Structure 1
Amino acid sequence: MAHRAPGLVRRLCVQRGLEVRGPLDGIAEPVAEGARLVLNDRGITLRLLNREYYTSFHLEWRVIERQIVSRLGRFHLHYHEFFLPKCGGDVLPAAPHQIWNWIGNWIESYSLPSSAYSPDAWHPYVVSRRIPVWVKLFSVYPPEGLLAQRVLDSLSAQARWLRKNLEFDVRGNHLIQNLRGLAVAGAFFAGSEPDEWLRTASKVLFRECQEQILSSGEHFERSPMYHVDVLLALADMRDAFQAAWGGAPDYLDAVIAKMAEFLGKVLHPDGQIPLFGDSTLDLTPSPRQVFARLRMDFPNLEPERAVSYQVGDYWVYREGGNFLIFDAGPVGLDHLPAHAHADLLTFEASWGGKRLVVDAGVYDYEDSPERAYCRGTRAHNTLEINGQNQCDVWSRFRMGRRGWPGNMHCDRAGPFHYAWCTHNAYRHLGCPEVRRLIICIEKGPWLIADWVMGRSQASLASRLHIPSEWNICSPSENGALLELPPARLMIEPGSASGHTWKHGTANYFPQFGVKESAHELVLEGTTPNVLIWQIRSHDVESAGCVVSDRAASIVHCGHECIVFFFEERN
């Protein structure tokens, strides 16, 4: 996107004596594909969260808003991110003067920062997302004449509104986005008031980074999607501080680098995020675009030699295009479980670069059956006891009773790469400890074993969710063949003393508002049984696994053998 002369921008003034400090064209990019504006012969089509809405060429904001049922959809309408180029390109969806006329119409329709009058358009989080869009557009294609003055007056009013309504009650990623909006406005405008916006953003951001960015580099809400969102927000704030002050706070570079390093370590071989917690593939830019925005090299996700490592509360195994990530961390924050799911000890996997085992993703943020399903245990690749969720998820973003994981143990012994962990989420059912052991054998099978410590009788169900692009052939009591050429895999259920397994279907939501079908494999048994899934290439020898009821397991594959001894929970 080419610049207009900065002088044209700086000569404009706004109310209360504010002036424009200078252009900020590097912010608010890349933009995700989740929101699009398309012009056609009949008018305008807006695509928000994979739903299409139609209006005339005048872009009648109120008409579209009334069509949108979900609040998140209305939020995306008022972000205005569909006005920006997509995928790192430089082509706007319409002529600049047309976009500014539509923004002028928006100012007329939503001029009052009153939550009673327009709660979605003036929600602090929405204002935080909209300010960088307008600033970027103004920096590159400033509007002409009186409209420019109206836009600047509205921008300054939005920044003042945001300064008074920072979401200290919600915190988390919302507050980070608030600070992004405030910092961008402070860097765009000049004067004592914008300088105070910048100082406030910098001061609060330092404190929030100390709390919100874990030592591993992960964002503390433990959603890969929001991790990407926060990472890009920090990059925009770094640019804003650099533009206004000639340099950003020293700690910010280190935080951004640490977050990027974490992101690179948890990606599937397809270069996309795992769908842990509230995560989808379409509401944030792709990780490749993120690394390009940060001017960092994209990591190698398909090492020739097998490697395994711990990153934070995750254990990762990689061997070429084969990948497994084991989530042994808490479901989320005790004080902020909004984006947490009942998914303790879940995992995802890819084989040959294709996704093989997936969590359900997210369909919506409404009080819907889909929302309840996505947050529940049965939507994840983990053990469910007595048909109950691990945690008491309710409403859209709430969680009551919950469990916590123990410490993860991981290591390597010869060709055996392994990790195991426990959780106590079913202690109210008389099952004080659930254990999961995952073993990845180089060039060999993978084993996922689940068992329960305790004396209560309970029914067990261990699930695997497999995208429908995989074809399941000839299921029998001994397992099934999975095919996605050139890959041919065997999935074999097993147990210590009797089990049943079945093949069905389940919902899969890789994008907001998109419902797909996935294979659901369910391995069932009762305590004190041990349930074991084995995944292997069809031409690789099966492994044997014996897990005792108390504290040990023996695994053998070919001429290799390993014995595990498990520590008891204190």
Structure 2
Amino acid sequence: MRYLVKKQAPDILGMAARYFHTTRHLKPGQILGRLLAQSKKKVGLPALPEPPDKLEGTLKSTVPFVHHDPWNSGKELREGRFRFLNYDAHLGWPANWKAPGLPLLWQFNLHYFDYLHLLSREEQLEISSDWVRANRLGNTVGWHPYPTSLRVVNWCKLRLDTPELLRSIYQQASHLYRNIEFHQPGNHLLENAKALIFAGGYFEGQGEAYRWLRRGLRIFQRETPVQVLKDGGYFECSPMYHAIMLKGYLDIINVLPQEHPDLPLLRESAKQMTDFLVSVTHPDGHIALFNDSTHEIAVSTRSLAQYAQDLLHHQARKLYSFYETGYFIHENPSIYLIIDGGAIGPDFLPAHGHADIFSFELSFQERPFIVDSGVYEYKQGQMRRYARSTRAHNTVTIDRADQAECWGSFRVARRFDPKDVSFTRDRHGSRFAGRFDGYGKLIGDRIVHRRSIRCTDARRQIQVEDSITGKGKHLVESMLHLHPAASVEREGNSIKLRNGQVECLITVERGEVASEGGWYCPRFGVKQKNTVIAIRAETELPVELSYTITY
């Protein structure tokens, strides 16, 4: 027995340390809100007030809404085939709303009703009415505040107006009003608030709708200065969630009266967010995959930029420095380089952050060459751990440790911000520089990583230099993840890459070259094998690694 206790103690202490470093950054409201949400699951949900006897739903929009479902078609839905996260399931028509055996996020998507616009009016009413009859109020997936929020907005946008559906929308909004996710003070909270604004406007002057509208607008008033950073980036530092939140801002602007006093704040934020989104989008139209991002979940950059232009009369501008978010871009007619030089996310909400400080993505002539690994799934497991790890990104890992202690599906224990970050541009090119001392705290030996990326347009070169100082012997590796379409020819320390008819050459000046297999996950549920170049040295510190990319 003494042996068992002694053997298990380090794991117990390690888990306790993880929880401590994870929870110490949380706001008191997050902890209290989570406890309250858990208590509601145990004791049951409070009764809702009865809707008014006669309900009418009215929603006016300035321009047509932008709808988005990247997976389904009306024909397949009518045949009972539903596809979410690139996984098909036959649920029948109308659907088996319990979706047995399918992942929680897949079930969430089923209850969002993002696919509703693909159906005829008769089919929209049929499947929505079936949902009402099959999903009574309770602690079920369909009544979780997040899918409830998206469903309320989708039903209001399509102006579902039968007495049964009007009554249900009212009840769903009433339920949401009493179960706002204040303990999730990021995109979840804004989606809750958006739904309250939509429902409050849809039932204007009826029952408690004015309370929903007022609460939703107050949340946006309070959260916008926090969640939309001064450079226009969304504070969870994910281009995908940035695009999702931008669509939310544009939708709200679309339904508020032109004279509404909150419009100046919302419009200015949406303009800045549009500029940011256009800037972090590759020439092929795909967003950078930093942190939790994939290519298909959010509306495309092109569609959102057009939505903003139609609604705000704003022509998006490309910018190159985003110090608050931590993104920096070098672009010329031949290349697009984007660098992640920021923190992994807000300390109290790093759920969608990856250990990817100083990573980058690189395209040549609209073709991707060096890529982020993306996201395969949110479910805890091997692929979730891989996607969030430092080794899955184009930066330096030491002793194969991560820059941050990502664990579970969305948790982060110890995490450390980059320092001395700078980005300068002139007529010759640009230079990025930054310092990361987190390894010294995670590993010890006073380890500090400094990275410099210099772009020289006239030479058609990108020079990457990594300096690692400290003491002791360590394995230092600088990773490069190649797009699956890129072929590789290696001769000594020279690596020729080709994607279609486009070529570039990587020349390693300092460090030994090795290659290994990796995963590229540009869409949920999709993983493609790719080649990963590791430029490494196992030696006493200090050490320098460097390579030049010529295009």
TM-score range, shorter chain: 0.7 to 0.9
Identity among equivalent pairs (%): 28
Q: What does residue 101 of structure 1 align with?
A: 126
Partners in 1 of 2:77 and 2:406 — Cα distance? 46
Letter in 1 for 2:151: R
Residues 146-169 of structure 1, C-alpha deviations (whole Å, 9 max, x = no match): xx1110010000000010111111
CA RMSD of aligned residues (A): 2.2
Partner of residue 58 from structure 2, selected from 14, 17, 22:
22
Residues 512-544 of structure 1, C-alpha deviations (whole Å, 9 max, x = no match): 00111222111001332211121112xxxxxxx
Q: What does residue 10 of structure 1 align with?
A: none
Partner of residue 319 from structure 1, selected from 326, 332, 345:
332
Q: Counterparts in 2 of 1:363-374, with a 5 A limit? A: 363-374=376-387
Query: Residues 28 and 171 of structure 1: is their aligned pair in 2 closer, same or farther, counting only changes over 3 Å?
Result: farther
8 Å contact 1:18–1:189 — kept in the other structure? Answer: no
C-alpha displacement at 1:501, in angstroms?
A: 0.9
Partner of residue 198 from structure 1, selected from 202, 210, 213:
213
Query: Residues 43 and 264 of structure 1: is their aligned pair in 2 closer, same or farther, counting only changes over 3 Å?
Result: closer
C-alpha displacement at 1:58, in angstroms?
A: 3.2
1:377 partnered with 2:360: no
Query: Residues 28 and 414 of structure 1: is their aligned pair in 2 closer, same or farther, counting only changes over 3 Å?
Result: closer
Query: Residues 283 and 100 of structure 1: is their aligned pair in 2 closer, same or farther, counting only changes over 3 Å?
Result: same
Letter in 1 for 2:412: M
Query: Residues 503 and 26 of structure 1: is their aligned pair in 2 closer, same or farther, counting only changes over 3 Å?
Result: farther
Q: What does residue 66 of structure 1 align with?
A: 100
Query: Residues 59 and 513 of structure 1: is their aligned pair in 2 closer, same or farther, counting only changes over 3 Å?
Result: same
Partners in 2 of 1:505 and 1:177 — Cα distance? 38
SS of alignment partner, residue 36 of structure 1: coil
Letter in 2 for 1:52: D
Residues 145-196 of structure 1, C-alpha deviations (whole Å, 9 max, x = no match): xxx1110010000000010111111110100000110000001112252112
Q: What does residue 509 of structure 2 align with?
A: 494
1:516 partnered with 2:549: no
SS of alignment partner, residue 242 of structure 1: coil
Unaligned runs of 5+ in 1: 1-13, 85-92, 302-306, 538-570
Partners in 2 of 1:174 and 1:266 — Cα distance? 23
Residues 73-114 of structure 1, C-alpha deviations (whole Å, 9 max, x = no match): 110000011112xxxxxxxx33211221111111111021x1
Partners in 2 of 1:272 and 1:34 — Cα distance? 14
Query: Residues 25 and 111 of structure 1: is their aligned pair in 2 closer, same or farther, counting only changes over 3 Å?
Result: farther
Partners in 2 of 1:220 and 1:458 — Cα distance? 34
Letter in 2 for 1:201: G
Partners in 1 of 2:224 and 2:78 — Cα distance? 47
Q: What does residue 336 of structure 1 align with?
A: 349
Higher mean displacement: 24-33 or 164-173 = 24-33
Q: What does residue 285 of structure 2 align with?
A: 271
SS of alignment partner, residue 72 of structure 2: strand
8 Å contact 2:469–2:543 — kept in the other structure? Answer: no
Partner of residue 92 from structure 2, selected from 56, 65, 75:
56
Q: What does residue 460 of structure 1 align with?
A: 476
Residues 187-219 of structure 1, C-alpha deviations (whole Å, 9 max, x = no match): 111225211211111112111001111111111
SS of alignment partner, residue 146 of structure 2: helix
C-alpha displacement at 1:433, in angstroms?
A: 1.9
Partner of residue 360 from structure 1, selected from 366, 369, 373:
373
Partners in 2 of 1:28 and 1:74 — Cα distance? 28
Partners in 1 of 2:76 and 2:405 — Cα distance? 47
Partners in 1 of 2:361 and 2:369 — Cα distance? 8
| Larger helix fraction of residues | 2
1:212 partnered with 2:238: no
Residues 202-254 of structure 1, C-alpha deviations (whole Å, 9 max, x = no match): 112111001111111111110111111111111122223228x7564321111
Query: Residues 433 and 43 of structure 1: is their aligned pair in 2 closer, same or farther, counting only changes over 3 Å?
Result: same
SS of alignment partner, residue 257 of structure 2: helix
Q: What does residue 239 of structure 1 align with?
A: 254
Query: Residues 476 and 297 of structure 1: is their aligned pair in 2 closer, same or farther, counting only changes over 3 Å?
Result: farther
Residues 457-498 of structure 1, C-alpha deviations (whole Å, 9 max, x = no match): 22100011111111112x122221111233121111221xxx
Letter in 2 for 1:149: P
Count of equivalent residues: 492
8 Å contact 2:321–2:328 — kept in the other structure? Answer: yes
Q: What does residue 28 of structure 2 align with?
A: none
8 Å contact 2:77–2:93 — kept in the other structure? Answer: no
SS of alignment partner, residue 185 of structure 1: helix
8 Å contact 1:27–1:236 — kept in the other structure? Answer: no
C-alpha displacement at 1:456, in angstroms?
A: 3.0
Residues 291-321 of structure 1, C-alpha deviations (whole Å, 9 max, x = no match): 11112566577xxxxx964554222101114
Partners in 2 of 1:60 and 1:413 — Cα distance? 59
C-alpha displacement at 1:27, in angstroms?
A: 8.5
Partners in 1 of 2:491 and 2:210 — Cα distance? 69
8 Å contact 2:418–2:436 — kept in the other structure? Answer: yes
1:134 partnered with 2:155: yes
Partners in 2 of 1:42 and 1:338 — Cα distance? 36
Partners in 2 of 1:299 and 1:218 — Cα distance? 14
SS of alignment partner, residue 530 of structure 1: strand
Higher mean displacement: 418-427 or 93-102 = 93-102
Letter in 2 for 1:485: G
8 Å contact 1:223–1:277 — kept in the other structure? Answer: yes
Partner of residue 227 from structure 1, selected from 230, 242, 248:
242
8 Å contact 2:275–2:317 — kept in the other structure? Answer: no
Residues 20-49 of structure 1, C-alpha deviations (whole Å, 9 max, x = no match): 352345689423344424425992211111
Partner of residue 76 from structure 1, selected from 109, 121, 130:
109
Unaligned runs of 5+ in 2: 1-49
Q: What does residue 32 of structure 1 align with?
A: 68
8 Å contact 1:375–1:393 — kept in the other structure? Answer: yes
1:398 partnered with 2:406: no
Query: Residues 219 and 364 of structure 1: is their aligned pair in 2 closer, same or farther, counting only changes over 3 Å?
Result: same
Query: Residues 300 and 268 of structure 1: is their aligned pair in 2 closer, same or farther, counting only changes over 3 Å?
Result: farther
TM (norm. structure 1) is 0.82
Higher mean displacement: 264-273 or 224-233 = 264-273
C-alpha displacement at 1:374, in angstroms?
A: 0.3
C-alpha displacement at 1:61, in angstroms?
A: 2.4
Query: Residues 22 and 246 of structure 1: is their aligned pair in 2 closer, same or farther, counting only changes over 3 Å?
Result: farther
Partners in 2 of 1:253 and 1:349 — Cα distance? 32
Query: Residues 35 and 20 of structure 1: is their aligned pair in 2 closer, same or farther, counting only changes over 3 Å?
Result: farther
Query: Which aligned segments of 4 or more residues in structure 1 are displaced greater than 6 angstroms?
Result: none
Partner of residue 295 from structure 2, selected from 245, 265, 281:
281
Letter in 1 for 2:247: L
SS of alignment partner, residue 275 of structure 1: coil
8 Å contact 1:27–1:132 — kept in the other structure? Answer: no
Q: What does residue 42 of structure 2 align with?
A: none
SS of alignment partner, residue 320 of structure 1: coil
TM (norm. structure 2) is 0.85
8 Å contact 1:37–1:47 — kept in the other structure? Answer: no
Partners in 2 of 1:416 and 1:261 — Cα distance? 22
